[in-house]
Chain A
Amino acid sequence: SQQGEEDPQALSIQEGENATMNCSYKTSINNLQWYRQNSGRGLVHLILIRSNEREKHSGRLRVTLDTSKKSSSLLITASRAADTASYFCATRWEYGNKLVFGAGTILRVKS
């Protein structure tokens, strides 16, 4: 299975702190994406990083990709209570159209 691993499984921080989540995967990819899910509802796309990119920013989000280590990290800066959610990385295979999701990290931001 290509399904990746994410760590930590759960993260609890204070509002204003930074949150870092890591994702590892197993096969060659076209791109890697991060999604957020609030309380078991639908997923919302956060950011996409292509295999030839190393870092990408979007607002308070910073994503890095290391294809040699087959790993990525998502940094959320200055976290807010509204950031409380589950975060999933997902990888797009290099030669297919399937998006495979990692196990997810549950983030709790305390106010």
Chain B
Amino acid sequence: SAVISQKPSRDICQRGTSLTIQCQVDSQVTMMFWYRQQPGQSLTLIATANQGSEATYESGFVIDKFPISRPNLTFSTLTVSNMSPEDSSIYLCSVSAGAGVTGELFFGEGSRLTVL
């Protein structure tokens, strides 16, 4: 199993500002995944973050809006840039169980952002 800590747990932000979410894992992992959950919706994958390479973004998400850092095997950050009310969501960090990529995911508790 993996224990994932996310910070902040929640924040209220002003339109036009940027916020960086941190994700710390208690073990080394190859891939980390960032998901967005808009109010009342399911989870949508934003990007996959690999250590030592650029993140891979899903359709509809771009690096300028959601820059990601992955400086080592236990840590990643997601920045939500130039925020608008439409960015109000829960942002979740997750990692795969074990060394493979076909198993279950472990999730952090999420970062709930409200943009005014």
Q: Do A and B come from one complex?
A: yes
Give the B-binding residues of A (Cβ under 8 A): 3, 30-31, 33, 40-45, 48, 88, 90, 92, 97-104
Task: Among B4, B45, B109, point to the contact of A41 (Cβ < 8 A).
Answer: B109
CB neighbours (8 Å) of A43 from chain B are 43, 92, 94, 105, 107
Give A101 to B109 CA distance when docked, in angstroms: 17
User: B104 near A: Cβ within 8 Å?
Assistant: yes
| Contacts A33-B104, A99-B105 given; does A40 touch B112 at CB 8 Å | yes
Contact between B42 and A92, CB atoms less than 8 A apart: no
Interface residues of B in 76-116 (CB under 8 A from A): 90, 92, 94, 96-97, 101-110, 112
- Of B41, B45, B97, B110, which is within 8 A of A98 by CB? B45
A48 x B103 contact (CB < 8 A): yes
> What residues of B have a CB within 8 angstroms of the CB of A100 in the complex?
45
User: What residues on A are CB-neighbors of B44 within 8 Å?
Assistant: 101
Apart from A42-B108, A43-B107, A97-B102, 9 more pairs, CB < 8 Å: A3-B42, A31-B102, A41-B110, A43-B43, A43-B92, A48-B104, A92-B102, A98-B48, A102-B42
Per the bound structure, the CA–CA distance linking A99 and B104 in Å amounts to 9
Of the residues B31, B43, B110, contact of A97 by C-beta under 8 Å = B31
Residues in chain B near residue A90, CB distance under 8 A: 105
Q: Which 7 A-B pairs have the closest CB atoms?
A: A97-B101, A42-B107, A45-B104, A101-B43, A42-B109, A43-B107, A101-B42
Say whether, besides A40-B90, A40-B112, A97-B31, A45 and B42 are in contact (CB < 8 Å): no
Provide the bound-state CA to CA distance between A61 and B7, in Å: 32
> In whole angstroms, what is the CA distance A101 to B58 when docked?
14
Q: How far is the CA of A25 from the CA of B108 in the complex (A)?
A: 26
Shortest distance from the beta carbon of A91 to any chain B beta carbon, whole Å: 11
Cα distance, A104 to B102, chains bound together (Å) = 21
Q: Which of A30, A97, A98 has its CB near the most chain B CB atoms (within 10 A)?
A: A97
